[in-house]
Amino acid sequence: MEYTATTDGTLAGEIIARVKSLLLEAEQKTKPLELDPYRTQLFELFVTAEGAGYLDDDALFDLSADGLCRELAECWGLKDAALSSTREQTRLSGEHLAKMRMLWSVMRMWMEWTYAWQRWGEFHGDESR
C-alpha cells in the first residue's frame, strides 16, 4: 500500500516527520548523516519502524527504504524536479541535488540496516528474526 503523509498523527507519520527533521538539520549544519548524532537517531527510527512492522512487504504503511525515500522525495518535489530537468534538458537545482544526495545516503543506510536485521539470526543462532 502506498502511503502519503507528513504528520498525520500515526506512528508512521511521526517516523517520517522525524527522519525529515533530522535530514534538514544535518543539511543546515552541513553534517554527514553517516556520523553521530544523525546515524544513531536514524537507526533508532529504523528500529521503531521495523518493530511496528512497517518494513514488511505487506505493511499497512511502507517505511522500507524505497517507501521512506519515496515519501520524502514527494514532500520535497524531487520527482517533478527530475522530470522537469530531463524534459527541459537542464541541470537540477542545487537545492534539489542536495536533497537527492541526502535521500541516497539515508536509503543506503536504511537498506544496509534492513539487510543486516533480516540476516541477524543466521549469524547468531536465532532464526526468530
Per-residue pLDDT tens over the stretch 56-85: 999 999 999 999 999 999 999 998 988 888
Please state, in angstroms and rounded to a whole number, the distance separating the CA atoms of residues 31 and 6: 23
Is 5 within 8 Å of 64 (Cβ atoms)?
A: no
Please state, in angstroms and rounded to a whole number, the distance separating the CA atoms of residues 122 and 129: 9
Please state, in angstroms and rounded to a whole number, the distance separating the CA atoms of residues 5 and 107: 18
Q: Report the SS3 class of residue 67.
A: helix
Please state, in angstroms and rounded to a whole number, the distance separating the CA atoms of residues 21 and 59: 23
- pTM greater than the 0.85 cutoff: no
pLDDT at 2: 39
